[in-house]
């Protein structure tokens, strides 16, 4: 099975903590197996994601402080591909870019920025694919969610997470949460 890891570039601790946390939570909930917060460390985000994974189950790696160039270089050296989500890329809906990504059958590093990315991110040296979720400005969290949903064809929405201590029981009305081992 293809492994997907999300690399977050350009995180600004004074401004982006909440959104970066949401991006990591989205990655985890929608089928990615890991997250890299490149270039710097933010222990609060790491603690939040590790706590969620411990309580809600599953396996999800979280790395931080790795220079983005090193992460990309090492990913490609292990025969992985890099998918850069950008409003300027090939539209995921109007052409076959997703089919080409899937056909590679290679592990995927999804790169998303929190601020304007340098032009080199669009080059072959960094990105194997530049993918747009629509060609309008929007949130990187939304683009990640849509990319993962399209990639996994909606199957990730019914995934169960191993070793979950907390689980939501879907109901027509109201809320029901099961907690184990408290």
What pTM value is reported for the model? 0.95
- Please calculate the CA angle 58-140-61 and round it to the nearest 5 degrees: 25
Q: What are the tens digits of pLDDT across the range 100-147?
A: 999 999 999 999 999 889 899 999 999 999 999 988 888 999 999 999
Q: What is the dihedral of CA 169, 173, 174, 177, to 10 degrees?
A: 0
Q: d(Cα 16, Cα 21) in Å, to the nearest integer?
A: 8
- How many domains does one find in the chain? 1
| Residue 107 CB burial class (10 angstroms; 0-12, 13-18, ≥19) | middle
| Residue 151 CB burial class (10 angstroms; 0-12, 13-18, ≥19) | buried
Host domain of residue 99: 4-179
Q: d(Cα 81, Cα 96) in Å, to the nearest integer?
A: 16
Q: What are the tens digits of pLDDT across the range 4-56?
A: 999 999 988 888 999 999 999 999 999 999 999 999 999 999 999 999 999 99
Which CATH number does the domain housing residue 131 bear? Answer: 3.40.1280.10
């Amino acid at each position: 099975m293809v492994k997907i890891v999300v690399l977050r570039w350009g995180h600004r601790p004074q401004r982006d903590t909440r959104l970066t946390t949401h991006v990591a939570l989205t990655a985890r909930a929608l089928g990615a197996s890991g997250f890299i917060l490149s270039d710097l460390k933010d222990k609060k985000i790491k603690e939040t994601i590790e706590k969620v994974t411990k309580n809600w189950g599953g396996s999800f790696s979280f790395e931080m402080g790795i220079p983005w160039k090193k992460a990309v270089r090492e990913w490609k050296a292990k025969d992985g591909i890099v998918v850069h989500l950008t409003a300027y890329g090939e539209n995921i809906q109007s052409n076959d870019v997703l089919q080409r990504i899937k056909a590679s059958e290679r592990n995927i590093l999804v790169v998303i920025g929190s601020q304007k990315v340098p032009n080199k991110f669009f080059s072959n040296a960094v990105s194997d694919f530049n993918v747009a979720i629509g060609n309008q400005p929007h949130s990187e969290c939304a683009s990640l969610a849509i990319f993962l949903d399209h990639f996994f064809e909606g199957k990730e929405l019914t995934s169960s997470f191993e070793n979950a201590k907390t689980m939501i029981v879907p109901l027509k009305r109201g809320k029901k949460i099961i907690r184990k081992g408290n």
